[in-house]
Chain A
Amino acid sequence: MEGAPPTAVISTRGLTKHYGPIHALVDLDLEVRQGEIFGFLGPNGAGKSTAIRTLLGYLLPTRGGAQVLGLDIVNESVEIRRRTGYLPGGIALYDSLTGEEVLDYLVDLQGRAPLRRAELCERLELPGSVLRRKVRDYSRGMRQKIGVVQALQHDPELAILDEPTEGLDPLMQHAFYRLLDDLRNDGRTVFFSSHVLSEVERLCDRVAIVRAGRLMAVHDVDELLARRRRRVMLRWRGAAPDPTTLPGLEDVRVDGDRIIGTLSGEVSGFVRAIASPSLEDLTIEPASLEEAFLEYYASDDADEGSDDPAADQPAEATDR
């Protein structure tokens, strides 16, 4: 595949969903490429689930359209779901059945063999003794694990996961992350919504940020991480250099022999500039995606000054 342009597995054009006066999703233009893990990031009520549910045929678009796996979301929804695995947010299962019966029933309806079930159950620590228990006796985390297995057991080309790590303990979250890494390595595409920024940072190749039903930006995660500001603290032996000469350093505060500030942009130029035998200590705090996200929304707040989901003026999107 090297050199070939990546195929769009999900492609939306002006996808819009209104519930009466509420504009749940407004003019969503998005492309998810084959073989990537794509994060769909936004606060609660941003329109993430609406977008997913429209892609899978639960909701009909008010206007605009989309293709999933090259198939139209309105007219070919059944075929889309045949080739897709979906984990709904806060999944509900049949309490009167055992975990195994639920998985059998759902894969039976899927009409495909459960090629990955054994592997998934092993990696998510769902032994036979657990699978033979009634779902009503499961904890929230166990239900979520069954949800993950039912979404992926038939080895779908595309996995659409709505808040997939909800209810999983940290160990299981990491097992799940490794699972998604392996799916990507196998050429599968994963589209997942989350408001947990650390997992988006850990997993995703690209991330779309949505707010109030509008797409704010689509970024390469690496690029987003590179752009964000980092907190920097320098301590010097002897006289400190003029902080205004240090490239990328802003909001500078001198406190005795320490210089504290924020660094934006490339780190390498800054490190070259401070390289000196007088430099006694250097701390560059590992900035998280969360900070970048909050910065993003803070600046947007200033621009927009409104959080009304029904607002008519789209916020300016960047990096699209």
Chain B
Amino acid sequence: MNLRLLRQTLRWQRVRLLVVVVAAIGWGMLMPFVYSQFSGAIREMANSGAIPEEFLNIGSGSLFSLGGTVTLGLQHPIAIAMVGIFAVGASSTAIAGERARGTLEVLLARPLSRLSLYWSILAALLLAALLVLVAILAGMVVGAGLVGLGEELDVGQMPLVLLNGFGLWAAFTTFGLAASVTFDRPGPAIGITLAYLVINYFLEILGSLWTDVAWSQEYSLLHHFNPGEILAGDANPIDLVIVYVAALVPIVYAILVFPRRDLAAPA
């Protein structure tokens, strides 16, 4: 890994990172507020049958507990978009984008191995994704305190929530970067990575809304990050194994493929 490259990659992301971190804190703070304000009303609506039972659990989260709301907040498209800016957008364009612009040429004219380039960019992107995740969780803890629900949130479980969430987003980040080292243009890399995320999201939501295909959730990486269960002390170690293996496989692919790839002159 090259620290200069890592530093510069983070420097290039700094404005975007700052904006997203602030937004992530705000989003995190909103979740306990939503729970405190709407949980009772939704429970009443559910009891009266106004909301179909299938719609009470969206993904792995729900509004019936603070833990469920935390899960809902982390699986919500807004949270996915915030972490996804780095884990999907920046990762899939990182190397393919440099290649398409032609700047990979001058970069690799330095005494940098391709693996060093790969590890440096991966480290920067993982750090960015981690910061956004920390910001969301920190916002949730602060928000719970502000609405007087601090005691409902087991802060002692937060490191495990972070570890599991980081594994999940590391899986998307490494997938995006693996796509990025494969293609000469960012378009296909973004497309494939986005499709990977959407399929995972679709399987998770589909299984929660349609009980006949509840099994589909097992095939979604998003299903293997359930902060509600972790906060309730029901963490499943298999979830950790699954997300970290999913993060590792694209790394193995990238370190096998990228150094052996021919980098012909850009068009």
B111: which of A82, A90, A105, A151 is its contact (CB, 8 Å)?
Answer: A82
Within 8 A of A (CB), among B17-61: none
Whether, in the assembled complex, A282 has its beta carbon less than 8 Å from a beta carbon of chain B, the answer is: no
Whether, in the assembled complex, B265 has its beta carbon less than 8 Å from a beta carbon of chain A, the answer is: yes
Given A105-B8, A108-B4, A109-B5, the answer on whether A91 and B263 have CB atoms closer than 8 Å is no
Whether, in the assembled complex, A296 has its beta carbon less than 8 Å from a beta carbon of chain B, the answer is: no
Cα distance A111–B5 in the bound complex, in angstroms:
12
Chain A's closest residue to B2 (CB) is A109
Contact with B along A43-60 (1 / 0, CB 8 A): 000000110010011111
Given A58-B263, A59-B264, the answer on whether A78 and B101 have CB atoms closer than 8 Å is no
| 17 intermolecular pairs with C-beta atoms under 8 Å apart | A53-B263, A56-B109, A57-B108, A58-B105, A59-B264, A79-B111, A81-B112, A88-B265, A91-B105, A91-B106, A105-B4, A109-B2, A109-B110, A110-B110, A110-B111, A111-B111, A150-B106
Cα distance A191–B101 in the bound complex, in angstroms:
25
Within 8 A of B (CB), among A45-97: 49-50, 53, 56-60, 77-79, 81-82, 84-86, 88-94, 96
Q: B4 and A81: CB pair below 8 A?
A: no
Cα distance A108–B103 in the bound complex, in angstroms:
16
Contacts of A56 in B (CB 8 A): 108-109
Q: B112 and A92: CB pair below 8 A?
A: no
Whether, in the assembled complex, B107 has its beta carbon less than 8 Å from a beta carbon of chain A, the answer is: yes
Smallest Cβ distance from A214 to chain B, in angstroms?
A: 19
Smallest Cβ distance from A11 to chain B, in angstroms?
A: 21
Whether, in the assembled complex, B113 has its beta carbon less than 8 Å from a beta carbon of chain A, the answer is: yes
Contacts of B266 in A (CB 8 A): 92
Smallest Cβ distance from A172 to chain B, in angstroms?
A: 20
Whether, in the assembled complex, B102 has its beta carbon less than 8 Å from a beta carbon of chain A, the answer is: yes
Whether, in the assembled complex, A106 has its beta carbon less than 8 Å from a beta carbon of chain B, the answer is: yes
Q: B260 and A92: CB pair below 8 A?
A: no
Smallest Cβ distance from A19 to chain B, in angstroms?
A: 7
Q: A93 and B103: CB pair below 8 A?
A: yes
Contacts of A85 in B (CB 8 A): 109
Q: B264 and A78: CB pair below 8 A?
A: no
Size category, A interface: 20 to 34
Cα distance A85–B263 in the bound complex, in angstroms:
18
Q: B262 and A58: CB pair below 8 A?
A: yes
Given A53-B265, A58-B105, A109-B2, 16 further pairs, Cβ under 8 A = A19-B264, A49-B265, A53-B263, A60-B262, A78-B111, A78-B112, A81-B109, A81-B112, A85-B109, A88-B102, A88-B106, A88-B265, A92-B266, A108-B4, A109-B5, A109-B110
Cα distance A111–B108 in the bound complex, in angstroms:
13
Pick the 10 closest A-B CB pairs, nearest first: A92-B102, A82-B111, A86-B109, A109-B110, A88-B105, A58-B263, A81-B111, A59-B262, A78-B111, A49-B265
Contacts of A49 in B (CB 8 A): 265
Given A60-B260, A78-B113, A105-B8, the answer on whether A89 and B265 have CB atoms closer than 8 Å is yes
Contacts of B5 in A (CB 8 A): 109
Contact with B along A143-185 (1 / 0, CB 8 A): 0000100110000000000000000000000000000000000
Cα distance A77–B111 in the bound complex, in angstroms:
8
Chain B's closest residue to A77 (CB) is B113
Smallest Cβ distance from B117 to chain A, in angstroms?
A: 10
Contacts of B265 in A (CB 8 A): 49, 53, 88-89
Q: B102 and A91: CB pair below 8 A?
A: yes
Given A59-B264, A60-B260, A109-B4, the answer on whether A93 and B106 have CB atoms closer than 8 Å is yes
Q: A81 and B110: CB pair below 8 A?
A: yes
Contacts of A81 in B (CB 8 A): 108-112
Q: A92 and B101: CB pair below 8 A?
A: yes
Select the residue from A53, A86, A88 with max chain B CB neighbours within 10 A. Answer: A88
Contacts of B109 in A (CB 8 A): 56, 81, 84-86, 88, 151
Q: B103 and A92: CB pair below 8 A?
A: yes
Within 8 A of A (CB), among B212-267: 260, 262-266
Smallest Cβ distance from A140 to chain B, in angstroms?
A: 13
B108: which of A50, A58, A92, A147 is its contact (CB, 8 Å)?
Answer: A58
Contacts of B260 in A (CB 8 A): 60
Contacts of B108 in A (CB 8 A): 56-58, 81
Q: A109 and B264: CB pair below 8 A?
A: no
Contacts of B111 in A (CB 8 A): 78-79, 81-82, 109-111
Within 8 A of B (CB), among A202-219: none
